């Protein structure tokens, strides 16, 4: 047997071995990826639920997706969708969670767990805005977007108003109050932003907006102080005195009443109720 022919035989044998190994590997991949294919719906649900109990969110999502694909209707499918949304939320896949929740609400608008789905959507929308909550005070006041927390507020309001007797209504109301204070805080900071730039009328109007839109919020005394400061700078002593009287009645210890700020920038920082946070007032 010639040497070139021997080399050809060796190469052919090597190719055959590699091809066989490759086929085995490919078959094994498909076998692993389709491990849930054809499994009865009850077994699939139990498998996914067990993964949920152990906090294996990604695996649970995979199992539930297979369940929904194979069995698009039925009680197990409905519950799998609910748990899929929760697993997506817990794993930080918020956009996917919103999509799953919206699909469920459209498909099963009268489902016994519909209050929970609205509540969960509120949680997801709140979580989607985590970056906003962490960075908001470093942003210019005119560029802050409250659309996501507003959506969360609306989700919680649906739970509180449509399903007042559900187990989620109480917590939904508490979260609405927290979000409401955040909105007031945002508007107040915008008013301070105007005040810093000498837009006295705009600052007074923003303070009035806070008082009218969020009555009883934890920021109402600061809004009165902002209004009083703006009126003082406008030279309207009558309205400034009215603001002072209101604040003395409601919060006599408020720093604005002391008037002991040495200069303009630090005076605003003392007025700013978020002095411990980095705000638009400190960014320039």
Which of 11, 74, 6, 77 shows the shortest CA–CA distance to 48?
Answer: 77
As a whole number, mean pLDDT of residues 230-257 equals 93
Rounded to whole angstroms, the Cα distance separating 160 from 172 reads 6
* Domain assignment of residue 20, yes or no: no
Q: What pLDDT, on a 0 to 100 scale, did the predictor assign at position 158?
A: 98
* CA angle (147 as vertex; 144, 153 as ends), nearest 5: 120
**C-alpha separations of 252 from 72, 248, 258, 270, 275 in Å:** 63, 4, 9, 15, 19
pLDDT interval class at 6 (50, 70, 90): low
* CA 218 to each of CA 43, 126, 136, 211, 256: distance values in angstroms, whole numbers, following the listed order: 51, 20, 19, 11, 16
Q: Given this model, what pLDDT does residue 273 score?
A: 46
pLDDT of res. 66: 94
Q: What is the signed CA dihedral for 158, 163, 166, 172, rounded to 10 degrees?
A: 20
Report yes or no: 192 and 271 within 8 Å, Cβ to Cβ.
yes
C-alpha separations of 266 from 8, 186, 218, 259, 269 in Å: 86, 20, 23, 12, 5
pLDDT of residue 11: 55
Percent of the chain with pLDDT over 90: 60
97 in a structural domain:
no
Binned at pLDDT 50, 70 and 90, residue 1 comes out as low
Mean pLDDT confidence for 11-17: 57
Q: What is the DSSP letter of 73?
A: S
Domain that residue 189 falls in: 182-282
pLDDT given at position 36 = 80
Q: How many domains does the chain have?
A: 1
Q: Is the pLDDT of residue 282 over 70?
A: no
254: domain CATH number? 1.25.40.10
pLDDT at residue 20 is higher than 80: no
Name the burial class of residue 275, with classes exposed (0-12), middle (13-18) and buried (19+) by CB atoms within 10 angstroms of its CB. Answer: middle
DSSP 277: S
Is 230 inside a domain boundary?
Answer: yes
Rounded-to-integer distance, Cα 258 and Cα 205, Å: 23
Which percentage of the chain shows pLDDT scores above 70? 74
> Is 215 a domain residue?
yes
Token pair of 246 as six digits: 């209101």
Q: What is the pLDDT of residue 29?
A: 31
Mean pLDDT of 161-177: 96
Kindly state whether residue 255 falls inside one of the protein's structural domains.
yes
**Within a domain: residue 270?**
yes
- The answer to whether residue 195 sits within a structural domain is yes
State the pLDDT confidence band at 277, using cuts at 50, 70 and 90: very low
Do residues 174 and 265 touch, judged by C-beta distance below 8 A? Answer: no
- CA dist 133 and 274 (Å) reads 13
Task: Reply yes or no on whether the pLDDT at 111 is more than 80.
Answer: yes
Highest mean pLDDT among 33-37, 132-136, 164-168, 194-198: 164-168
What is the arithmetic mean of pLDDT over 149-155?
94
């Amino acid at each position: 047997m010639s040497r070139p022919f021997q080399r050809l035989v060796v190469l052919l044998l090597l190719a055959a071995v590699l091809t066989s190994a490759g086929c085995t590997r490919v078959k094994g991949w498909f076998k692993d990826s389709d491990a849930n294919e054809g499994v009865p719906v009850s077994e699939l649900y139990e498998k996914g639920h067990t993964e949920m109990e152990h906090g294996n969110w990604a695996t649970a999502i995979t199992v539930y997706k297979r369940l929904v694909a194979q069995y698009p209707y039925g009680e197990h499918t409905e519950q799998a969708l609910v748990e899929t949304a929760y697993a997506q939320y817990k794993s930080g896949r918020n956009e996917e969670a919103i999509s799953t929740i919206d699909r469920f609400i459209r498909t099963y608008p009268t489902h016994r767990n519909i209050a929970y789905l609205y509540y969960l959507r509120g949680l997801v929308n709140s979580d989607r805005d985590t970056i906003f909550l962490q960075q908001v005070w470093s942003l210019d006041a005119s560029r802050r977007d409250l659309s996501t927390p507003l959506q969360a507020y609306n989700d919680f309001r649906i739970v509180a108003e449509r399903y007042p007797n559900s187990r989620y209504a109480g917590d939904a109301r508490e979260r609405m109050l927290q979000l409401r204070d955040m909105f007031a805080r945002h508007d107040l900071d915008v008013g301070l932003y105007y005040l810093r730039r000498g837009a006295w009328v705009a600052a007074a109007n923003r303070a009035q907006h806070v008082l009218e839109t969020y009555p009883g919020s934890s920021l109402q005394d600061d809004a009165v102080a902002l209004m009083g400061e703006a009126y003082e700078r406008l030279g309207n002593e009558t309205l400034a005195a009215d603001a002072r009287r209101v604040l003395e009645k409601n919060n006599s210890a408020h720093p604005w009443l002391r008037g002991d700020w040495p200069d303009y920038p630090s005076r605003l920082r003392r007025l700013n109720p978020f002095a411990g946070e980095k705000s638009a007032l400190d960014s320039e």
